[in-house]
Amino acid sequence: MIYRFGDFAVDTLRAEVRLAGKTVPLRRQSFDVLVYLLHRSQRIVSKDELLDAVWGNKVVTDGSLKHCLMEIRAAIGDRERKVIRTVARRGYILEAPVTKESVAADKKVSILVVPIDDHSVNDDGEYIADGLTEEIITELSKVRSLRVIARASAMRLKGAGNAVQDVAKGLGVDFILDGSVRKSGDNLRVILQLSRLNSDDVRWSGRFNGTLADLFEIQDEVAQSVARELAIRLGAREPAEVGELEDPRAVESYLRARYETLKFSEDGLQQAERHLLNGLHVVGPNARLLGALGHAYAKYGELGLDPAGAFMAKAAECADKIFELDPHSSPGYLLLGMVRFFSGDLRAARVPLERSLDTNPTDPDALATLGYLCALSGQNERASQLFDELLDVDPLTPLNHCMPGFVALMEGRCSDALPHYKRFLELDPKNAFAIWTWNYVLLRNGRVDEASEVVRKLNTDHAGSALTQLGTALFHGVCGEPEAAKEAVTDELRAAARNTELLSRELTHCLALAGETEEALGWLENTVRIGNINYPFWSRHNKWVACLRDDARFDALMIDVKREWTSIDSNPDTR
């Protein structure tokens, strides 16, 4: 709610008083007194009513209320006490005319946690600084009244220096949390401050001294303090999570592992596994450590380093062990959903992803994966909603920008997809998947000359990869060169596509364009088996399978696809 009187605006969502667009400093309790009087403007409010409303059961003297009123009058220039008038022996009345303006229910206070700087003596605390940044983001994301820029976006600002303010302004955030950590041996000193964007208004600052074992306590206190200073009421504190770590050796193992995992390299994943197994050896079964280990194993599959599925099996084992410790674990549900998704069982992935999102509605991994699954299932409206939320909390991760374009492709709006995939490539021009998707959307729009340059780049920079083979085959197929298209499809690509929806779907397209109807239908059946049941896409919007639609085998398959597609919205288990 925004209250307006005279030249002042009082924003209860952001807990601030503004005059001509500038914030007028006011203590929290004084602000609460002012809001209470505004809500009951032109009505006498007794001293006891004010004390009860603002301080509740806390014992305070009349002097506390008088001091607040003095601060309010000074802030709004009410020296003559004409705006807030004292009524002898009865109380106080706010005389000024007041208007009220409702703020949209979904408008949230937004915050960017800037990557914490490492000021350690031996420059050996970077993994702690990055880990603390991630943990604070995770903790703040649990507050539903906050819009917290996701870790992946925040970490792209590492080392950005003065550019942070400009980026933050572009993201539309209200507040910035930044600071530093200094490690000396096992001792830590953490200094943080919360400030309003582009102003000297520091809303909160904190200095913490402790050891690695205190790190999660520090992160919790920071999240509580930030939420409190932003005038957001937190619910009752929940019991400590099953995965809390107290042993400093396990804490260090966890932080070092997260740091290595996010390098997205085989060596990094191997180092992460080593650290996490060491941590588990120290403290025994632990949900936080098992969750991190499971995500490290799942990354092998995402990076194409697990053709036999051995690491996905290990990730599934980690999820099982987490549920043994906590049957309702949100991280456990997310891990299980990711494992099922990347193992080629999209239908089974839905329920755990939904449950994870119920508990943590701003988790970028859950939003992206469930949104993608919805698009493949023909739930385009839900997919678009999830992708909008994803871009709201994680706007700097390049891949996220192409997601709305994928929905457009599924709906046959190929030209509408172009700007989304172009933005993905602009943000990450060396990314093989970004290059491949740009080639893909150019071909969908018949822009063959431009696509030829992109295919050449794929073959130069990423020779022999599955994406390069697919991109080359699609190019030749669209150009009406069936023999060249078939030659680009290798047996290794076929083996990799067996349980991978994207590869299976695009093999269907390659072979259909090359005139290999029987094999194309086989891969379409495989794609449907994995979970792509977007009936409108296959039956109407997808021009690349037009040659398959005259086949009785295609008709029989579409009957089953349509039945499953139409049943999704009526099934409560699929939302």
Distance CA 127, CA 474 (A): 43
Distance CA 35, CA 358 (A): 33
Q: What is the pLDDT of residue 13?
A: 61
For the chain, how far is it from start to end, CA to CA, in angstroms? Answer: 32
The CATH class for the domain spanning 109-229 reads alpha beta
Determine how β-strand 99-101 pairs with β-strand 109-113.
unpaired
Q: What is the CATH number of domain 248-365?
A: 1.25.40.10
136-174 burial: b if 16+ Cβ within 10 Å, else e: bbbbbbbbeebbbbbbbbbbbbeeeeeebeebbeebebb
Residue recorded with tokens 């996490």: 276
CA 148, 154, 160, 166 torsion: positive or negative? negative
Residue 54 and residue 104 in contact, taking contact as beta carbons nearer than 8 Å: no
> Which neighbouring-strand residues pair with 17?
10, 24
Q: What is the pLDDT of residue 569?
A: 59
Fold observed for domain 404-574: 1.25.40
Q: What is the pLDDT of residue 105?
A: 42
Distance CA 562, CA 460 (A): 41
What interhelical angle do 414-427 and 403-410 show, nearest 10? Answer: 160
Distance CA 234, CA 415 (A): 45
Candidates 206, 197, 244; CA nearest to 228 is 206
How confident is the prediction along the chain (575 residues), in pLDDT tens digits per residue? 688 998 899 887 667 888 887 888 888 788 889 988 998 888 899 988 888 877 766 677 788 889 999 999 999 999 889 899 999 888 999 999 998 875 544 457 788 999 999 888 776 788 888 888 888 888 787 776 778 898 778 888 887 777 888 888 888 888 888 989 988 887 888 898 888 887 666 777 888 888 877 877 787 777 777 766 665 533 333 333 445 677 778 888 888 887 787 676 788 889 999 999 999 998 888 888 998 899 899 888 766 677 778 999 999 999 999 999 888 888 899 999 989 988 888 999 999 999 999 888 888 889 999 999 999 999 999 999 999 999 988 888 888 999 999 999 999 999 999 999 999 999 888 888 899 999 999 999 999 999 999 999 999 998 888 889 999 999 999 999 999 999 999 998 898 888 889 999 999 999 999 999 999 999 999 999 999 999 999 999 999 999 999 999 999 999 999 999 998 854 544 44
CA 207, 213, 216, 220 torsion: positive or negative? negative
Q: Which helix (H) or strand (E) holds 211?
A: strand 202-211
Residue 322 and residue 362 in contact, taking contact as beta carbons nearer than 8 Å: no
- Helix, strand, or coil (residue 237): coil
**CATH 3.55.40.20 correct for 2-101:** no
Distance CA 121, CA 107 (A): 42
Residue 565 and residue 347 in contact, taking contact as beta carbons nearer than 8 Å: no
Distance CA 218, CA 339 (A): 32
Residue 485 and residue 466 in contact, taking contact as beta carbons nearer than 8 Å: no
Distance CA 131, CA 111 (A): 18
Instruction: Output Rg (C-alpha) for the chain, integer angstroms.
Output: 28
The two three-digit tokens of residue 200, written as one number? 């000297």
Q: What is the pLDDT of residue 209?
A: 86
Q: Which helix (H) or strand (E) holds 298?
A: helix 287-302
* Shared fold status for 248-365 and 404-574: yes
Taking the CA atoms of residue 319, residue 323, residue 325 and residue 327 in that order, the dihedral angle to the nearest 10 degrees is: 160
The residues spanned by each domain of the chain are 2-101, 109-229, 248-365, 404-574
pTM of the model: 0.69
Residue recorded with tokens 């995402």: 302
Q: What is the pLDDT of residue 304?
A: 64
Long-range (24+ apart) CB contacts under 8 A made by 512-515 are 512/477, 512/544, 512/545, 512/547, 512/548, 513/474, 513/477, 513/478, 513/482, 513/485, 513/544, 514/473, 514/476, 514/477, 514/482, 514/483, 514/485, 514/486, 515/482, 515/547
Measured CA angle at 222 (ends 234, 162), to 5 deg = 120
